[in-house]
Amino acid sequence: MTFNAALDSISTYEAGKPIELVVREFGIKEDEIIKLASNENPLGASPKALQSIIKNAPNIYLYPDDSMFALKESLSQHFQVSTNEIIIGAGSDQIIEFCIHAKANENSKILMAKTTFAMYEIYSKAVGAKVIRTPGEVHNLAEFLEYYNTYHPSIIFLCVPNNPLGDCLDRVDIYKFLKQINEDTLVIIDGAYQEYAKAKDNDKNIDPKELIKSFPNAIYLGTFSKAYGLGGMRIGYGIAEKSIIKALSKLRPPFNVTTLSLLAALEALKDQEHIQKSLQNNLEQMPYFEAFAKEQGFDYIPSYTNFITYLLKEIDSTQISDFLLQRGVIIRNLSSYGLNAIRITIGTKEQNQKFFALFHHFLSQR
């Protein structure tokens, strides 16, 4: 059987290894496994969100409200934008796909950082678009502007903060950049980790209302998978000028987000106390990872997310990842990005201490 030729140039996205795999392969009890690979909230979801899921589980035989009225209203109030400037997706990934299908084709070019979220490239290549990457590892707006003027892309991706590295552009620099971009170029500001960036440094904070008012060719993407602890519910959102949302909505399949996901997201958004606890845990624990890197002589990228990237030299990223995996600690090996690096989600104090202890053990055996 033959398939779309565009698939020949696409590599399958490599997600973080699941807990179930470690149970099967190494016989470790599930409650003894620590997952620090996929940037989930180590405190879990809001108790109010969990209660909503349990309460409404008997109604899953019914289709969800396809207008998503309640969640859009809540997001509208939270960000002070109108409901017709919001689109809801099965994770912000789905909205990325909508954007590319709405704007790009085989004659298009799409600009992104050298090392950034892999799905940008996958969705781009799926429509036959040419992917243009800047030369530097982290986001460099001078490089972006040079490549924009050279290649005239239809879409630009800015991951703010950047996954999988953790670097983050300043808001003022992004706005200066956007002022130099043609209004027919769609600029996607991926804010999946914006809650963490804002908590650490308000200069990194992107206000969706201000963004789309100043730059009607921009779309802001957010998610409930990270700080809100709903990765398993698959729900995200996009905020943009009405005409962009109208275009993207033509590509949205009916009932693309489940009833329970909508209800959980609604309660999670209301429970800002839980969000603050989650952000505080991240702020308190991140310095221990920075100190560990300095102690061991590792380079690391200052992070504005809930993870940190160690750039390794004398240690092989696959060896340390496998060593930890076999002992019940799952981290993300970035060798698939062409880097000898590892990405570690910031966990609870107890989880992090186990990671450090095992890493010390690995080092002592060398």
Band of residue 3 on the pLDDT scale cut at 50, 70, 90: confident
- The two beta strands, 299-301 and 155-159, are unpaired
Return the residue matching tokens 């993300």: 332
How far apart are alpha carbons 194 and 171 in whole angstroms?
Answer: 11
pLDDT tens digit sequence for 107-164: 999 999 999 999 999 999 999 999 999 999 999 999 999 999 999 999 999 999 999 9
Q: Span 233-261, mean pLDDT?
A: 98
pLDDT value at residue 25: 75
Q: Span 11-25, mean pLDDT?
A: 72
Phi (first) and psi of residue 49, to 5 degrees: -65, -40
Question: What is the overall mean pLDDT for the chain?
Answer: 95
How far apart are alpha carbons 355 and 149 in whole angstroms?
Answer: 45
Band of residue 30 on the pLDDT scale cut at 50, 70, 90: confident
* Beta-carbon-side half-sphere exposure of residue 9 (alpha carbons within 13 Å): 13
Percent of the residues in the chain that have a pLDDT greater than 70, as a whole number: 98
Say if residue 231 is exposed, middle or buried (CB neighbours under 10 Å; 0-12, 13-18, 19+): middle
- Contact residues for 41 (Cβ-Cβ < 8 A; gap 6+): 226, 227, 228, 229, 231, 278, 306
How far apart are alpha carbons 358 and 133 in whole angstroms?
Answer: 36
pLDDT value at residue 319: 96
What's the whole-model pTM score?
0.95
Residues in the chain: 366
Q: Span 61-81, mean pLDDT?
A: 97
Q: Span 316-331, mean pLDDT?
A: 96
Can the peptide bond before residue 58 be classed as cis, meaning omega within 30 degrees of 0? no
Band of residue 19 on the pLDDT scale cut at 50, 70, 90: confident
> Which one-letter amino acid corresponds to residue 338?
G
**pLDDT of residue 189 exceeding 70:** yes
Band of residue 321 on the pLDDT scale cut at 50, 70, 90: very high
pLDDT tens digit sequence for 278-314: 999 999 999 999 999 999 999 999 999 999 999 999 9
Return the residue matching tokens 């009607």: 216
Instruction: Please tell me what DSSP assigns to residue 224.
Output: S
Count H helices, E strands: the chain? 14, 13
Band of residue 2 on the pLDDT scale cut at 50, 70, 90: confident
pLDDT value at residue 14: 67
Q: Span 231-245, mean pLDDT?
A: 98
pLDDT value at residue 13: 65
pLDDT value at residue 32: 83
Band of residue 224 on the pLDDT scale cut at 50, 70, 90: very high
Please spell the DSSP secondary structure of 254-314, one letter per residue.
Answer: TT-S-HHHHHHHHHHHH-HHHHHHHHHHHHHHHHHHHHHHHHHT-EEE--SSSEEEEE-SS
- Contact residues for 216 (Cβ-Cβ < 8 A; gap 6+): 183, 241, 244
Please spell the DSSP secondary structure of 109-139, one letter per residue.
Answer: EEEE-SSS-HHHHHHHHHTTPEEEE-SSSS-
How far apart are alpha carbons 342 and 69 in whole angstroms?
Answer: 41
Query: Which domains, and CATH codes, for the chain?
Result: 14-39+273-364 (3.90.1150.10), 47-270 (3.40.640.10)
pLDDT tens digit sequence for 192-210: 999 999 999 999 999 999 9
> Which one-letter amino acid corresponds to residue 244?
I
